[in-house]
Structure 1
């Protein structure tokens, strides 16, 4: 859809006709939501995408976001103190809920948006589309690689490191690859149910293990004075523990009732924030200021093995969701409005298989061939996830309120919302710049201390 033909504001509560959401075109004509959304009407199609309920979307969101990132949260509390750390986690949870709302409303106003790339086109034209689509694919591949490394650590812990670490990564890549093959998110959503249970139970097991075998020299600091570098480097853990918004448009596009998307977002943020706080506090209190990142590595061997083993399904499915998302963005971009998108064609399936193979292979190669890969993940998160999760949501509100209202007059009349939107953009910019600074400095420090390994090392 051209920028001139974009749909105008959609109200998910009142704009419903005959049970189907409707919206207005720029010329004022009424049109059904599914007439203009990315997958359109799917009657008679061999492959049906819009099958997700809001409950399954919530499960997908939790499986993807509440994952290995939370294992670094206890160390963040050890750096800044328990009170600032808890306040930060709760604040970021509330902030992420607000930006989720802005993203959902933007998607409902623009049914044709399937990914951040499509949103970028509406905001900034062709350049915005390519930039935001590129960022989505890059971050998804890096996130897949991060899950592969988490799986590597888990398998290594379970087997007492009897194999080369690269082999563990390769072994874990195979099931991640296989689970990312389904063409629709509906299949992945059912796999996400055990994934959510696994990370929840693994966290509980970890907390029990920490409580039964606490560190001898443990103590709790209320607040700790740290340098900007140390403090923000630790703060990036809770910041990026919420970094999953880049998937929201793709998930909502496969919902039966997209107007229910905020229900899924509320469940996600409520669960994530509550679980993050409990896990971070308990692990920090019992394991003390020397708690490792990931925190499960600070447990006694038996409890560490139990927690890592239980968490494996989550790492596996989260990695599959990321690689699936990267492939889905490109696949939909290539075959949009084509029969290859909806039918079991040789061209369609061949392209899909190649994309899935490429995404997982790229994640594997980066994870084992780049010694500073964890820092690369930090750079990609700073450059893209900081904007997708926080900053760009403000731009969505400013854009639609300007074009669907009276321009700047609407901003003045809704000055509180406009101020929040602008503050959101600045927050995304700050996280991006500061995150880049501490990550690059971390790379320099790692090389200076000689802690950087070699490519394809065991």
Structure 2
């Protein structure tokens, strides 16, 4: 007779049991691991905690970090630093909650599976509402990661433009970036992506350090007037006239740079020891928050209002070419992870419950390549249709990471602690705190979307954004 551990259940079709007692009814979902190898199958569960930590770090320390220095100019040094610390701590905690929930529910592959289980519990076992919640969450999840892939594709096309001194049409560079990224993302197992993430992480850190060192040497920023007096624009508080929309959009750019924790969950399904996830999480987020504070504040302190976005262009044309050249492997690796996460989510959705999921069949390969190249293509189209880097990073935070990275983990906490609302004083205080976190996610979603839309409209009116699918140089070259 098969045991519970030997059966691979599809969460959308999982058996449920209802328990009642002193707390509200709780739905227990009978479930099994996502990946199980067949006779000629692929063993996906080979990732150790160090490799997972590097995957998380490269996933996070990517295109988003390049928008933080310009966000600091909008917010000022003090508020900017506080937002980096606050969002870093909050995103770490939300990633912790998602990991705890995943360990309790082994069938979870993405947060969409988590939405199904949470809704099943809170709706007293309603299949209709559970499936609806899962479908909506999965749509938001996949679209968010496709947009992330688009941002990263845009970053790579900017790098190719900068290094080549705009040798050809930017749209052509974008397509080349798409093909390279999707091809690398088509490596099936996260374990085998390890060396790419190490190389990518090293390259992006080196590129940023080149810029950080370079901006501290000249007497004035590269983009500032070459002679005469100039205003640096470095201040503790936001510049005079800063609107709520601009300030909140900048805050969301910082939030987005470490809010991709919903992408950590699928990696747990490929870890040899899922319990080691928390080691990977803490190693990643400690580096992310501390490096964001140090690197972004240094660039902002020396460049002020003359900082570029992406930040690699802040030290002048020569350093920009060098930095972008060094950063290309890192930009490829960061974009590759976005495409891989989105593609694998679709892949698991399509083939889950069939032997094709972990078997080397023609169907397996056809679906896998269609998912990676398809999501990469959508990301490239979005990067060409919405050609504004910082605003796009911020928009991801509002529309995608706010509901996925704040609201849903808060609901997962309620699912794991169903009776806390009428427990001890400490338990009730924790319940209220997580209600506040949920409301923060809702506010981030609503206010963030408003702020970003208004900010984008203002940029268009001011002529700061070019047209979609245009060949003009998108690398923001600093004049010498």
Common fold, TM-score beyond 0.5? Answer: yes
Pick closer, same or farther for the CA change 1:36–1:333 going to 2, 3 Å: same
- Alignment pair present for 1:356 and 2:372: yes
- The answer to whether the 8 Å contact 1:141/1:323 transfers is yes
Assess if the C-alpha contact under 8 Å between 1:64 and 1:318 holds in 2. Answer: yes
Q: Which residue of 1 aligns with 2:331?
A: 315
Do 1:411 and 1:418's aligned partners in 2 also have CA atoms closer than 8 Å? no
Structure 2 equivalent of residue 134 of structure 1 = 139
Residue matched to 2:183:
178
Secondary structure (helix, strand or coil) at the match of 1:36 reads coil
Residues in 2 aligned to 1:66 and 1:431: alpha-carbon distance in whole angstroms: 22
Question: SS at the partner of 1:221?
Answer: coil
Question: Which residue among 218, 221, 231 is the counterpart of 2:235?
Answer: 221
CA distance in 2 between partners of 1:431 and 1:143 (Å): 18
In structure 1, the residue matched to 2:16 is: 5
Residues 311, 165 of structure 1: alpha-carbon distance in 2 compared, 3 angstrom cutoff: same
Q: Name stretches of at least 5 consecutive residues in structure 1 with no aligned partner.
A: 9-24
Alpha-carbon distance, 1:83 to partner = 1.5
1:118 counterpart (93, 113, 117)? 113
CA distance 1:395–1:6, change in 2 (3 Å)? farther
Are 1:394 and 2:410 an aligned pair? yes
Deviations 1:394-443 (A, max 9, x none): 110011211xxx46434865123222321211111111111101111123
Residues 209-261 of structure 1: CA distance to partner in whole angstroms, max 9, x if unpaired? 11123426435312236331221122122111112112111111111100110
> What does residue range 43-62 of structure 1 map to in structure 2 within 5 Å?
44-62=39-57
In structure 2, C-alpha distance between the alignment counterparts of 1:56 and 1:318, rounded to whole Å: 15
In 2, are the aligned partners of 1:51 and 1:255 still within 8 Å (CA)?
yes
CA distance in 1: counterparts of 2:408 and 2:283, whole angstroms: 22
Q: Secondary structure at the match of 1:113?
A: coil
Matches within 5 A, 1:56-71: 56-71=51-66
1:78 corresponding residue in structure 2: 73
Find out whether 1:152 has 2:157 as its counterpart: yes
Residue 338 (structure 1) aligns with = 354
- 2:271 matched residue in structure 1: 255
Indicate the residue corresponding to 1:197 in structure 2. 202
Q: Which residue number corresponds to residue 38 of structure 1?
A: 34
Partner residue in 1 for 2:260? 244
| CA distance 1:242–1:6, change in 2 (3 Å) | farther
Distance 1:233 1:137 in 2: 22
Q: Distance in 2 between matches of 1:374 and 1:304?
A: 18
Corresponding residue of 1:230: 246
Counterpart in 2 of 1:445? Answer: 458
Higher mean C-alpha deviation, range 171-180 or range 445-454: 445-454
Worse-superposed segment, 219-228 or 246-255: 219-228
**Counterpart of 1:18?**
none
Whole-Å Cα distance in 2 between the matches of residues 289 and 357 of structure 1?
39
Matched residues in 1 for 2:274 and 2:413: separation?
18
Stretch of structure 1 that moved more, 163-172 or 260-269:
163-172
Following TM superposition, by how much is the alpha carbon of 1:370 offset from its aligned partner in structure 2, in angstroms?
Answer: 4.3
Superposed, 1:89-108 pairs within 5 Å as 89-108=84-103
Distance 1:300 1:135 in 2: 38
- Aligned partners of 1:408 and 1:45: how far apart in 2? 49
SS in 2 for 1:414: helix
Distance (Å, rounded) in 1 between the aligned partners of 2:433 and 2:274: 25
Distance 1:68 1:59 in 2: 16
What 5-or-longer segments of structure 2 have no aligned partner? Answer: 1-10, 20-26, 120-129, 225-229, 472-480
1:45 CA displacement: 4.7
Give CA deviations for 1:124-144 in whole Å, capped at 9, x if unaligned: 311111011111110111111
Structure 1 counterpart SS, 2:165:
coil
Distance 1:263 1:6, change over 3 A: farther
Partners of 1:275 and 1:330 in 2: how far apart? 33
What CA deviation, in whole Å up to 9, does each residue of 1:304-335 have, x standing for no partner? Answer: 11111111111111111111111111111121
With structure 2 as the length reference, what TM-score do the two structures score?
Answer: 0.85
TM-score by length of 1: 0.89
> In the TM superposition, what whole-angstrom CA distance separates every residue of 1:175-215 from its partner, at most 9, and x where no partner exists?
10110111211122221011111111111111011112342
For each residue in 1:162-181, what CA deviation from the matched residue of structure 2 results, as whole angstroms up to 9, or x when unmatched? 21111111122221011011
After TM superposition, give the deviation of residue 44 of structure 1 in Å: 4.2
In structure 2, distance between residues paired with 1:379 and 1:233: 8
Say if 2:153 and 2:380, in contact at 8 Å, map to a contact too.
yes
**Aligned residue number for residue 280 of structure 1:** 296
